[in-house]
Amino acid sequence: MGYVGNAGIHQTSTYDINQVPESGFALGAFLPGSPSGATPSINTLRPASNFGAINYFSRDGHSSYHALQVMFRTKLKNFSTIQAAYTWSHTIADIEEDAANGGASQGSFTDIQSLGLDRGNATINRPNIFVMNEVFFLPKLGGQNAIVKGIAGGWEVNTIFTAENGNSMSVYQNGLSAATALLDPTAPVNNCTDGITSFPCALGSLSGTGYNNNNRPNVVPGVGCNSDVHGAQQMNPNAFTLIGYAIGTVGNAPRGICQGPHYVNADFGIYKNWSIKEKINLRFSMDFFNAFNHTNFDANGVQGVGNQSGTFYNGSGVYCGANTGTVAAPIYQPCTPTNNVISAYGTTSATRGGASNTWGIANQIKPPRELQFGLKLTF
C-alpha cells in the first residue's frame, strides 16, 4: 500500500496570443471573422488588428496527481497465483493532458488573462481502477486411475478482470446564433457600436474571445452530468444550460466535469494439457472474452464531449432580456452587447432544456461475449 503524488510543470500548452482583450468580449461575440459590408471583423478588437488568431505553442501547463495504490499478491501451494491492484487517484490540470502536438483545440486556454479558469479534472483522470488476475491449477488427481486423472485432473483456470471509471470529459459550446421566431417585430435593427461608429452585427459566438472551440456552457445547480444515465445515454443534457448566461463571459462548467462511460471486462480461460509421449503434448483451450457480456461504450464517441468539436446546444438560437409578451405568447428582444443575458432558447426540436435528447449518447465498443476453442499439438 502506498501513496504516489507528483506535479507536472512547464507542460505543452497552446493559446491564442492575439486573443481579444476581456474588455472586448461582449462586442466580439457579435462580430464575424471577416468584414461584412459596414460590419468590421472581430480582428479589429485584437492587439494585432491586422491578424486573426495566432496559435502560440507554449510550456505553461500545470498538473498534479495524487493516488492511493494498493497491491495484493499471493501464491498458493500448488503454484497458483492471485494478484489484484487498486488505484484511487485524482489528476488535476489546466490543460487536457492527452496531447502534446501544440495544435489549437478545445485544450487551448480559454482566456489567457485567467489561466485558472481551465483548472479542473484532466482528460486522463480515472478516479478508480481495479485489475485482478489469477492463475489457478486444479488438483491433478494423481491418486486416481488414468481415465479419471486424464479427464478431470490437471485443469488450469485463468482470469483477467478489469473495472475502471471512465475518463473525465469536458462539455463545449461550439458557436451561437440569434433566434427570430418569437422576436418582437417592433425591435430595432440589431446594431453594435465600437464607441465611435454604429454598424449592423449578429450574434456568432458565446464568449467573444475570438476562439470558439473551447467555450463552455453553464451548469445547472444540483444536476450532475452523469445523473439519470442509462444504457447508451451516458451524459445528462439537463445538467447544462445557456439560460442566464451572459454573452461575452466564460461559462462556469469546469473542464472535466463529466465522466465518460465506465469500463468493465472479464476474460476467462480454461486449459488442459495431456502428455501423450515424452516429446508429444496436446493442449486444449477454451477462452471467454467479455465473459459476463457486459456492454461497454466508447468515451471518445460520446456526442458533444471529449476532445472532439462537440456542441451542447442544438437549438435554433437564443433570445436575451425579459419576455415582453405573455407566457402563452412570449415575445423577446434580440441579444446585443448590452442586452446580453440569455433568457430563452429559440424554437427547437426534440430538446431537453435546450440540449438535444441524443446529446451524450455513446457508441458500444466492446463486442458481446465471444468464445474460442483450440487444440494445440506440440512435438
- How far is the C-alpha of 333 from the C-alpha of 313, rounded, in Å? 20
Q: 95-104, 125-134, 190-199, 284-293: which range is least confident on average?
A: 95-104
Q: For 108-131, how does the pLDDT look when each residue is reduced to its tens digit (9 = 90+)?
A: 888 888 888 899 999 889 999 999
Instruction: State the total domains in the chain.
Output: 1
Residue 295 φ then ψ, to 5°: -80, 120
Residue with cell 473525465: 168
User: What is the reported pLDDT for 353?
Assistant: 41
Q: Is the pLDDT of residue 329 over 70?
A: yes
Alpha helices in the chain (DSSP H): 25-28, 146-152
Render pLDDT for 259-303 as a digit per residue (tens, 0 to 9): 888 999 999 999 998 888 888 999 999 999 999 999 888 766 665
Q: What is the pLDDT of residue 96?
A: 81
How high is the mean pLDDT of the chain? 85
Q: Give CA–CA dist 300/362, Å, rounded.
A: 8
* pLDDT for the residue numbered 129: 97
Indicate if the pLDDT at residue 59 is higher than 50. Answer: yes
Domain that holds residue 183: 2-378
| pLDDT tops 80 at residue 155 | yes
Cell of 172: 463545449
The residues near 282 (Cβ < 8 Å, ≥ 6 apart) are 273, 274, 276, 375, 376, 377, 378
> What percent of the chain has a predicted confidence (pLDDT) above 90?
39
pLDDT of 307: 42
Phi, psi of 51 (to 5 degrees): -130, 160
- The alpha carbons of the chain give a radius of gyration, in whole angstroms, of 29
